[in-house]
Structure formats: C-alpha cells, structure tokens
DNA sequence: TATTGTTATACTCTATAACTATA
DNA sequence: TATAGTTATAGAGTATAACAATA
C-alpha cells in the first residue's frame, strides 16, 4: 500500500512531516486529557522547574498568553508557581506529582505512537535520520 | 556557536523538529496576516478546490470546526464556497484570487525561512533527508 | 527607569450536541 | 435512515495594551 509521494524539496518535506507529527501529538494529548499546549508545557517542565520568562522563549508565547496557560494548568493541579528566592516579582513553574506523572505518560505515548509510524524505517536509516536532524537542524538555538 | 544537542532517539528528534517547524510556520503566517490554521487551509487549497468533507480529513478537524475556519476565511475574502454540481448539500472550497496570492506568498516565505535554517546542511545530506522523510514517513496516508 | 508578571479585552480555534436540508 | 453541513454553546489559546509590584 504505497501511496507514491513524489520526491519533495527538503523544506517542503519538513512542513508535511511536521504537520503529521503535530497531529499525532494532538491526538495523544487528547487521549491523556490534555490540550497540545498543556502537554508541551508539561514536557518542557519534566527536566525541572523553569522561570516564566524562560518559558515564554521556549514556547514562543507572549507573557500574557503564558499566564493563562499556567493558570489553567495550575487550576487542574498539574503545575505550581514557586516564588523566586531573591526576586520577589518572579516565579519558577514546577510540575506537581500529578503533573509529572501526566507528562511522563503522555511523553511515552507520543514516542510509542511515532515509533509505530517508523517501523518501516530500517535501523540504519533511523540512525541516519536522527543524526541528520539532531546535528543539522535542532542545533540552532532560538 | 554549536550548542551541542546530544544524540536523540528518532521519535524524540522528530517531536523537537516538528515544534521548531511549527514556530517558523506560525511566525511566517503572522507576518502575512494569517493564523497558522488559515495558512494551512489556504495551502491545502492551492492545488484546487476541495470538498468540506475531504478537508476535515486532511486537517483532522471536526466538521463544525471547519465550518468556522472556512467562515472566517470567507469573511476575509480568501476563499469561497462553491455549490456541488449534483449534491445540493455539499460544497467545494476554493481560493479567491486574493486567497491564491496569499497562499503562494506565504508558502514561498515558509520555504525560504526553512531553507535559511538548512544552509548548514550539505546538498548530499539534504537529498538524503528529503528522501528518507518522503519515502519512510509521509508515505503513510491517513 | 526597566523588568516581571497579571488583568482586561477581543478574536480565533476547537469540540460536543442538536439541528436542517438533501440523498 | 444516513450524510453534508450549520448553529449553539462553552472553553482553550493567543495577542495587544494597560497596569502593579519589584528591581
């Protein structure tokens, strides 16, 4: 069942790939009772608390948008605001235990679902792809 | 200025890549006075009119969500509803001239912006990447 | 004065459920 | 009855602008 997609320019292929991955991400998030944005927020926090101001950069959101996103996640018991130790204007956002569990489960499910899509890719090609993507594209901070 | 991203599992790399591409897509759409969803809709229509019902599948939206999206795009003069020739319940959605121009310009800008991110990738690697993505991943219809 | 974050406001996007019109 | 699409409703996500508190 090969649907013959003709060879695409790289940028073109990336856009399509990206939309596909987003659909998977959205579908999995939904199954875990999270919006994609909430899921993305939780995943960003999995490695440890992050300041609001850093979060706006990672998520590419205006600060007021982030306020709302964090509000809703906090209301749902997924994250908490921790006062900064010295700067009394600032907060760190941290996962609650429930939030950490949800982040972990959602993350695992996204990976599993994507891996299911990737079964046709040989180990050698997976390695190649991963290396190319990691080194060439993600290595541009922003 | 190499930020040393450690080697990631493929699925992991795809998720990060995808978020990065989405940010570029959103930023470019915005510069062209479109929401990302509107831009995606217009791009889907660039090849010719599409039925509402097909669109819900391509965009992975509920039909009522699509109604709203099309409403707003139509109100902005970007698309029109064309009655189906035989089935009087159905519509084809088509770009207006203005919509086609906007789709074209936005699409070009997205590609250009991504290409700018890809300058560090050698032609050989671009070819490789493109082939891998096209053949292995996008070739799974849905 | 500059920075951190919130509030107020207005849209857009999305889903669910109920509905209309046509097949 | 089934399908194509809309309407009603509610909530989430987003940006802009104005604001408060702290640095």
Q: In B, residues 16-75, which contact A (CB 8 Å cutoff)?
A: 16-23, 25-27, 40, 60
Beta bridge partners of A83: A91
Distance CA B45, CA B80 (A): 11
- Domain holding A97: CATH number? 1.10.10.10
Q: Evaluate whether residue B33 is within a structural domain.
A: yes
Calculate the average pLDDT of chain B: 92
Q: Is the CB of B88 under 7 A from strand C?
A: yes
pLDDT tens figures, A120-132: 888 988 998 899 8
| Alpha-carbon distance B88 to nearest alpha carbon in chain A (angstroms) | 31
Q: Is the CB of B79 under 7 A from strand D?
A: no
Q: Evaluate whether residue A129 is within a structural domain.
A: no
pLDDT tens figures, A94-128: 999 999 999 999 999 999 999 999 998 889 889 98
Q: Evaluate whether residue A8 is within a structural domain.
A: no
Q: Evaluate whether residue B27 is within a structural domain.
A: yes
pLDDT at B6 over 90: no
Mean pLDDT over B112-139 rounds to 87
Q: Is the CB of A81 under 7 A from strand C?
A: yes
**DSSP SS3 for A8:** coil
CB B40 within 8 A of CB B79: no
Q: Evaluate whether residue B71 is within a structural domain.
A: yes
The minimal CB distance from B126 to the residues A10, A134, A141 is found for A10
Q: Evaluate whether residue B20 is within a structural domain.
A: yes
Q: Tell me, what's the pLDDT at B142?
A: 45
| Cβ contact A121–B134 (<8 Å) | no
φ, ψ of residue A52 to 5 degrees: the values are -50, -45
CB A82 within 8 A of CB A93: yes
**Domain tally, chain B:** 1
Distance CA A112, CA A117 (A): 9
Structure-block tokens of residue B120: 């560090």
Structure-block tokens of residue A110: 């996204």
List protein-proximal bases of chain C (any atom < 7 A from a CB). 3-9, 12-18, 21-23
Q: Closest by alpha carbon to A11, among B125, B115, B107?
A: B115
Q: Evaluate whether residue B100 is within a structural domain.
A: yes
Which has more pLDDT, A134 or A60?
A60
* Chain B hits for A138, Cβ within 8 Å: 5, 8, 13, 16-17, 20
pLDDT at B62 over 90: yes
Q: Out of A16-30, A60-74, B59-73, B113-127, which region has the weakest mean confidence (pLDDT)?
A: B113-127
pLDDT tens figures, A57-69: 999 999 999 999 9
Q: Evaluate whether residue B26 is within a structural domain.
A: yes
What stretches of chain B show up as alpha helix (H) in DSSP? Answer: 10-31, 36-45, 52-59, 63-75, 97-117, 123-132
pLDDT tens figures, A63-89: 999 999 999 999 999 999 999 999 999
The minimal CB distance from B138 to the residues A17, A110, A132 is found for A17
List protein-proximal bases of chain D (any atom < 7 A from a CB). 3-9, 12-18, 21-23
Structure-block tokens of residue B102: 């906007």
Structure-block tokens of residue A78: 């997924």
pLDDT tens figures, B81-119: 999 999 999 999 999 999 999 999 999 999 999 999 999
CB A11 within 8 A of CB B115: yes
Structure-block tokens of residue A141: 């901070």
Q: Which domain covers residue A100, as residue numbers?
A: 14-118
């Amino acid at each position: 069942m090969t649907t013959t997609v003709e060879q695409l320019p790289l940028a073109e292929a990336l856009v399509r790939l990206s939309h596909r991955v987003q659909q998977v991400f959205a579908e999995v998030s939904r199954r875990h009772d999270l919006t994609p944005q909430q899921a993305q927020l939780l995943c960003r926090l999995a490695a440890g608390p992050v300041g609001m101001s850093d979060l706006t950069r990672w998520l590419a959101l205006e600060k007021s948008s982030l306020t709302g996103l964090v509000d809703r996640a906090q209301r749902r018991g997924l994250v908490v605001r921790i006062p900064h130790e010295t700067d009394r204007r600032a907060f760190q956002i941290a996962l609650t235990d429930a939030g950490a569990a949800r982040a972990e489960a959602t993350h695992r499910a996204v990976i599993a679902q994507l891996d299911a899509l990737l079964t046709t890719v040989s180990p050698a090609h997976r390695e190649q792809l991963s290396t190319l993507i990691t080194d060439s594209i993600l290595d541009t901070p922003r």
